[in-house]
Structure 1
Amino acid sequence: MNDAPPDHGRLAAVGPYFALDSATAPGQEPPPGFLPLREFYAPGPDGPLAHRVREVARRLGTAEPRVAASVLHLGLASRFCSVGLGAAVLLGEVPDLGPDRAWIRVPEQGPVDLWLPLGPATTGPAPLADRFRRTVAEGCLTDLAAAVRSVVPLSDGLLRGNAASALAGALRVLDAHTAQGAARALVSEVLDRPPLAGTGTLTGAPGSTAFRRTSCCLYYRIGPRAGVCGDCCFTRAPGRR
């Protein structure tokens, strides 16, 4: 039995959204500035998540909290999906990024930092796609959606669409680092089953993946020049009332 910690350096080599820091010894504390994810998710207008929504709104220049909340949700979902998919395909494991285990740090620029204590990931006889769906799609992405909705009301369809879009985005990046379409096969299976079934359609071959979602993330509402995302259900920004 191999008890060596996983080589998370292979994830960081893919890109910053795939990076994951972790302890190297039992009882090791995270670096300064990290907060338990459960505390970051604390509900209410004075919690860290609500503060982050307001900061995103300020940076985007939008007066609509739901637009800022959706953009923030999509960014966090992209981190979870990238780490989960990268670890599944490159390391054969799915790290538990749930709120009772993961720690988070928000830098001034770039994606959030994630840290895990030493401990087992989800390995075992279950198919990799099943472990990913249970741990990421049904686990940390569902917890993330509930946390965001406790701060700003957003539709379930929008949040599930964001999660699917984040997963497709992680796939596009990871495709260049994997062989034989392993990442594409896993993502296709996850998108075909709840909770992400019906959120969009993957097209193209491995290495040229495209995704068209069935919902809108509201990015176009940032301003008249924002346009729509590449996988939006709209081909152009709808008129604003």
Structure 2
Amino acid sequence: MIAALGPFFAVDQHAPGSLAEPPWHSMAELVDDPSVLRERITQTRAYLGAVSGQEPDAIEVRVAASVTHLGLVARLISPALAAAVLDNRVPILSLAQLHWQPVLGGAFPLSLPELPPATPDNLVERLQLELLNGPVAAVTRAFEISAHILVGNVASALNGAATAIANAAPTLAEPAHTLTTQLLSTASLRSSHTTDPFRRRSCCLIYRAAPAHNGPLCADCTLDHD
């Protein structure tokens, strides 16, 4: 059912504690080896340049870094939020337990350890512990760009995942919205956005990847007041 919500929700599963084997990589490489994250940002920079008809050097490094970060946290948050909404399950996660294939252009392949049994209590606290304070926080700390942008990316990824769940399965809209609202109200995220409608207080910078820095703004961007 999770996969039916869209590509950012679809995951493979592996036995807890198993090592990543090619073509899979451990996501821990992103923080354990700085060159891996730098290469990912470099690849994103080249990709953004290619799709906008520009040379990679025309894309600011901070833009590529923000887009890289947003893509990573959105991919981590989406299936975890869906598992909580659908089945009252929260994956027990760490970057070492996450396997991925670092491909570009959409939702990269992701494999999670087998999900634990359903436990409906304390979903918000467990999502904070296992997801936001776990792999999302670890990945975020590795990026050397504005903390204001990074926390906005996390909030945007949460809101985006809830919106995608509601669009794909309207009967899940209310529980997805309730859980996400609670997460966005926690201390680390409450100052990152405004509500009704959701609007982040920072910009992910993707508009600057277009020629002359004149690309479209995201629907939740602080720069869009229309």
For normalisation by structure 2, the TM-score amounts to 0.85
Between the aligned partners of 1:175 and 1:27, the Cα distance in structure 2 is 33
* Cα distance change on mapping 1:188 and 1:119 into 2, 3 Å: closer
- 1:144-183 equivalences in 2 (<5 Å): 144-147=139-142, 149=143, 153-176=144-167, 177=169, 178-179=171-172, 181-183=174-176
Aligned partner of residue 95 in structure 2, secondary structure:
coil
The amino acid that maps onto 1:233 is: T
Cα offset for 1:159?
Answer: 0.3
* 1:195 correspondence with 2:184: no
Contact in 2 for aligned 1:201/1:212 (Cα 8 Å): yes
* Cα distance change on mapping 1:126 and 1:226 into 2, 3 Å: same
Contiguous gaps of at least 5 residues in structure 1: 1-9, 204-209, 237-241
**Which shows bigger deviation, 99-108 or 110-119?**
110-119
CA deviation map 1:25-59 (0-9, x unaligned): 67766563111111233343xx2221110011112
**Which of residues 113, 122, 125 is equivalent to 1:130?**
125
* 1:41 correspondence with 2:31: yes
Match of 1:222? 209
Between the aligned partners of 1:30 and 1:160, the Cα distance in structure 2 is 29
* Cα distance change on mapping 1:48 and 1:131 into 2, 3 Å: same
Cα offset for 1:119?
Answer: 6.4
CA deviation map 1:174-213 (0-9, x unaligned): 013244600100000111112111111232xxxxxx4200
* Cα distance change on mapping 1:192 and 1:26 into 2, 3 Å: closer
Between the aligned partners of 2:132 and 2:18, the Cα distance in structure 1 is 28
Match of 1:143? 138
Cα offset for 1:88?
Answer: 0.5
Match of 1:13? 4
Match of 2:53? none
Identity %: 35
The Cα RMSD (Å) is 2.2
Contiguous gaps of at least 5 residues in structure 2: 50-57
Between the aligned partners of 1:53 and 1:142, the Cα distance in structure 2 is 18
Match of 1:103? 99
Paired residue total: 213
* 1:81 correspondence with 2:77: yes
* Cα distance change on mapping 1:235 and 1:179 into 2, 3 Å: closer
Between the aligned partners of 1:27 and 1:187, the Cα distance in structure 2 is 29
**Which of residues 49, 60, 63 is equivalent to 2:59?**
63
Aligned partner of residue 216 in structure 2, secondary structure:
coil
Contact in 2 for aligned 1:42/1:49 (Cα 8 Å): no
The amino acid that maps onto 1:234 is: L
Aligned partner of residue 228 in structure 1, secondary structure:
coil
The amino acid that maps onto 2:129 is: R
**Which shows bigger deviation, 110-119 or 64-73?**
110-119
The amino acid that maps onto 2:42 is: R
**Which of residues 206, 220, 226 is equivalent to 1:231?**
220
Aligned partner of residue 22 in structure 1, secondary structure:
strand
